[in-house]
């Protein structure tokens, strides 16, 4: 029998990487010991995002202009964790628990945003969810409506990214999750201002991902499809409009709030350490099909 020369034998590979290089799946999604600031967490998708991150072990700063809504989210988190609630730190939080604390922030005011950053410079996760819409045909909109939609959706996101991004870059680690929309990719008559603002969020996200990548900071966008939130109540009030949205999705229904938590957790956690500059659709398959006709084949 011929033998393979020693110097030509393939190098032996480890059949099982060590735990450091091959962490368990639960460990990848574990946010224990991390602070996550979720802005717009007093209701809707922001609240669902905050609850999901708290369930994964993060200490969540529930930030919102509506303090009552923020405190209600803290109460829900505390109830899920069996916490009694305690006093927040720095006077910035009126309600707190080991898993969450409430904070007021006005994302249209740079001083308010800077105060939130100063109160939580240690944040390893930032989730930016606020949104505002004006459903009017473009030629009927006003400068004031344009400014409001841009200020909340785009400039508010920019202010938060700028403030927390600088802190994360200095530490060499962090994850920022912005909220864009499927409307950044597919418009509907009457949603031009919102679509333009959310498309801008996607570009800001890509830009910051590129600029902060060398510092170890990841930046990704969530693009929700049709979810039943305070922002979609005008659609819900019109049965034909509501049903048309459901029928357009591949799943044939609207999204449930808890269904946003998984994608947010993925992007916030170590499960996505090689994902940045990404736009993650959570749309029930809306963008996967044109939805106009299903042939009988």
Q: Which two tokens stand for residue 144?
A: 């004031």
- Spatial CA neighbour of 77 closest among 103, 93, 104, 98: 98
Classify residue 16 by burial, with Cβ atoms within 10 Å: 0-12, 13-18, 19+: exposed
Cα–Cα distance, 194 to 135 (Å, whole number): 8
Active site (annotated) includes residue 158: no
In the set 158, 194, 245, 274, the catalytic residue is: 194
For the record, the structure tokens of 138 come out as 């473009």
User: How many CA atoms are closer than 13 Å to the CA of 215, on its beta-carbon side?
Assistant: 18
Q: How many angstroms separate the CA atoms of 100 and 248, rounded? A: 37
Degrees, nearest 5: CA angle 133-158-111: 100
DSSP code of 90?
Answer: T
187 contacts: CB under 8 Å, gap ≥ 6: 195
Q: What letter does residue 288 receive in the DSSP assignment?
A: G
- In angstroms, the CA 172 to CA 215 distance is 5
What tokens does 78 get?
A: 């505390």
Q: How far is it, in rounded angstroms, from Cα 245 to Cα 121?
A: 40
Distance CA 132, CA 151 (A): 9
Output the CA torsion sign for 278, 281, 282, 284.
negative
CA atoms within 13 A on the CB side of 111: 0
As annotated, the active-site residues are 194
């Amino acid at each position: 029998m011929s033998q393979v020369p020693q110097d030509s034998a393939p190098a032996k590979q480890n059949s099982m990487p060590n735990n450091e290089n091959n962490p368990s799946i639960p460990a990848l999604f574990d946010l224990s010991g991390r602070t996550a600031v979720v802005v717009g967490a007093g209701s809707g998708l922001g609240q669902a995002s905050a609850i999901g991150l708290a369930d994964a072990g993060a200490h969540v700063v529930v930030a919102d202009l509506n303090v009552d809504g923020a405190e209600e989210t803290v109460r829900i988190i505390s109830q899920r964790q069996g916490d009694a609630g305690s006093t927040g730190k720095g006077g910035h939080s009126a309600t707190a628990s080991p898993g969450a604390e409430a904070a007021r922030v006005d994302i249209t005011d740079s001083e308010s945003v800077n105060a939130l950053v100063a109160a939580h410079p240690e944040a390893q996760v930032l989730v930016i969810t606020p949104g505002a819409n004006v459903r009017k045909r473009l030629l009927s909109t006003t400068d004031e409506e344009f400014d409001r939609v841009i200020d909340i959706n785009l400039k508010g996101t920019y202010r938060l990214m700028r403030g927390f991004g600088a802190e994360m870059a200095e530490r060499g680690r962090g994850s920022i999750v912005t909220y864009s929309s499927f409307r950044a990719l597919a418009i509907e008559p009457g949603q031009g201002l919102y679509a333009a603002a959310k498309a801008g969020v996607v570009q800001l996200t890509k830009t910051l991902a590129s600029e902060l990548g060398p510092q170890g900071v990841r930046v990704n966008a969530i693009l929700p499809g049709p979810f039943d939130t305070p922002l979609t109540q005008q659609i819900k009030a019109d049965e034909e409009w509501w049903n048309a949205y459901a029928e357009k999705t591949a799943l044939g229904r609207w999204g449930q709030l808890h269904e946003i938590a998984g994608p947010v957790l993925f992007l916030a956690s170590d499960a996505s350490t090689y994902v940045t500059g990404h736009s993650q659709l959570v749309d029930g398959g809306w963008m996967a099909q044109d939805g106009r006709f299903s042939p009988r084949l």
